[in-house]
Amino acid sequence: MLKLIKTTVLTSAAASVTIDSIPQEFKSLKLVISARSNLANVWANGSLSLNGSSANGTFRNLFGMGSGSGYSSSGSTLGVNLGTGASATANTFGSVEIQFPNYASPANKPISIDIVSENNGTDSLQMFNAMLWSNTSAITSITLNADSTNSLLAGSTFYLYGIG
């Protein structure tokens, strides 16, 4: 069963979007994002905060940028790309899907993320990201933060689904 829990549509630019009071009766959460930021790049760097915390995150990813080889990297943050940036073709938004399996369990939380930006030019991002939030608290809120001093732009949409 897939059930829409909450929809957020930005009507003006925002540095972050928070989805809180997440119900605990589902097995997993799926967050679907169609977003664009004003970061001067083709894609939009950003980060997650879970239950208000950006600590205890690690990730490793596999990605391509429209030409050349594929790449892989890792880090110790909850960093996540959130779609297209201001250098991408106008009115074009990225497509992101974030999975939070067993989000209400008393174990550390694995997270998987599938990210694409788009742009009518060679540069674009296609990325898989495996993340671990080393925290045993149930996830009750998710915040998506634009990078640094940038903002997520009007028209960006965020859909949180519960999977029964």
Partner 1 sequence: MAAVSLNNKTLTRSLLAGNPGFLTGFEHLQSVTVGSLGASSVSFTEIPQNYRHLQVRGVVRSTTASAGQDYMYVRCNGDAGSTYSWHELVGDGASASSSAGTSASFMRVGYAPRASALANAFSPFVFDLLDYSNTVKNKTLRTLTGSDLNGSGYVAERSGAWYSTAAVSGLTLYPEANLFAANSTFSLYGIR
Residues that bind partner 1 (CB under 8 A): 1-4, 7, 32, 34, 62-71, 89, 91-95, 97, 114, 116-122, 124, 126-128, 155, 157, 159, 161
Distance in Å, CB of 40 to partner 1, minimum: 19
Distance in Å, CB of 9 to partner 1, minimum: 10
Structure tokens at 124: 């674009």
Q: Position 93: which residue type? A: F
Return the DSSP state at 66. Answer: S
Q: Position 83: which residue type? A: G
Given the complex with partner 1, which of 56 and 157 has the nearer CB atom? 157
Given the complex with partner 1, which of 67 and 149 has the nearer CB atom? 67
Contact 1, 138 (CB under 8 A): no
Distance in Å, CB of 55 to partner 1, minimum: 29
Given the complex with partner 1, which of 15 and 62 has the nearer CB atom? 62
Distance in Å, CB of 2 to partner 1, minimum: 4
What residues contact residue 104 under an 8 Å CB cut-off, 6+ apart?
24, 26, 138, 139
Over its C-alpha atoms, the chain yields an Rg (Å, rounded) of 15
